Each structure stands twice: as structure tokens, then as C-alpha cells.
Amino acid sequence: MTQDAVVFALLPLADLRAHERVDARKVRALARELERTGVFEDPIWVARDTGVILNGHHRVAALRRLGAERIPAWVVDYDADIVRLGRWTPGPAISKEEVVRRGRAGEPFPPRTTRHTFAVELPSRPTPLADLLGANGAARRPAHARRAGSGRSAKGRAARSG
């Protein structure tokens, strides 16, 4: 493995491109767990030069839900032999080029289609959630994520009930 095939970085969430969709229930559960623990344990994997997420789509979505601006990531040379691509379920082979194309084009696969593995073990890098949030250290949660319950605003409920 070359020295720079994998490097750790805190990346702006805005720069990342998904190649797979996510399960909203899993995202909500991960966001609750992050709020409970206050620690982001395992960095995502991102292809260098393209910003395509290789592993960690649900973690990215959970941090976005919490209003984070950055995410811990292993930035990898996607062409390196240490990065392997397979599938979680049976089906035709998927190429690394197709993963990058879909990420760039905004045409994601269904959740858990691709399975990336590394020939080397990448350690966890626990990062305090506060280090990933906005400049003031507070989560800026989207309006739909602020309220418990139905997800409808009071104004919306009033308009439908009258």
C-alpha cells in the first residue's frame, strides 16, 4: 500500500456525493444514537478527487439531519488495489466507474447495493459530535426533524382541521 492511498480528514458534508439511497428509519435511529452518545465513532469512506461516498451513506444522512457541517472520513485512492467492490445481494457485477458515475450524476443505487471492503483494517477515530457541528457548536436541525410526533406543523394541522 502506498503511503497516501488512505488519509484521514474532516470533510465538509456539502462536498460529498451519494451513490446509494438510504433507509429513512435507519437514518433517524442513527441520529438519535449520535445525539445520545455525542460521539461519531467510525469514519466514512470517500473516493479521493470525486467526493463519492463509498461506505457510510446512512451516517452522512444522520449527521446532515443533526445539522452537522463536517464528517470524519477515510479519503481513499479508489483506483488502488486495497479497495475492493462487491455486492450485498446477488446480481451483475458493478464497476468502480459505475459507482463514481452514479455519484456524480445523482443517480443512486438502492440502499445496500454495493459493498466496499479494504485489504487493510481502518481503525475507528472517535470524534466528538460538537466538533462536527456548525461554527457555534449547536446543531441546526431542519424543521421536519425538530418536532416529535406527526411531523406536521401547527399551522398545517390548523389549516386541515378548519
The per-residue pLDDT for range 71-116, each reduced to its tens digit, is 999 999 999 999 999 999 899 999 999 999 999 999 999 999 999 9
Domain that residue 28 falls in = 6-161
Q: What is the pTM of this model?
A: 0.80
62-69 mean pLDDT: 96
Q: What is the domain-level CATH number for residue 91?
A: 3.90.1530.10
**Looking at residue 161, what is its pLDDT?**
33
How many residues can be counted in the chain?
162
User: What is d(CA 162, CA 54) in angstroms, rounded to the nearest whole number?
Assistant: 48
Residue 157 grid cell: 394541522
Residue type, 43: P
- Tell me if 41 is assigned to some domain: yes
- Tell me if 1 is assigned to some domain: no
Q: Number of structural domains, the chain?
A: 1
Residue 159 grid cell: 389549516
CB 68 within 8 A of CB 136: no
- Tell me if 48 is assigned to some domain: yes
**Looking at residue 4, what is its pLDDT?**
75
Q: What are phi and psi of 9, to 5 degrees?
A: -155, 155
148-153 mean pLDDT: 35
Which are the contacts of 98, defined by CB distance < 8 A and separation ≥ 6? none
53-74 mean pLDDT: 96
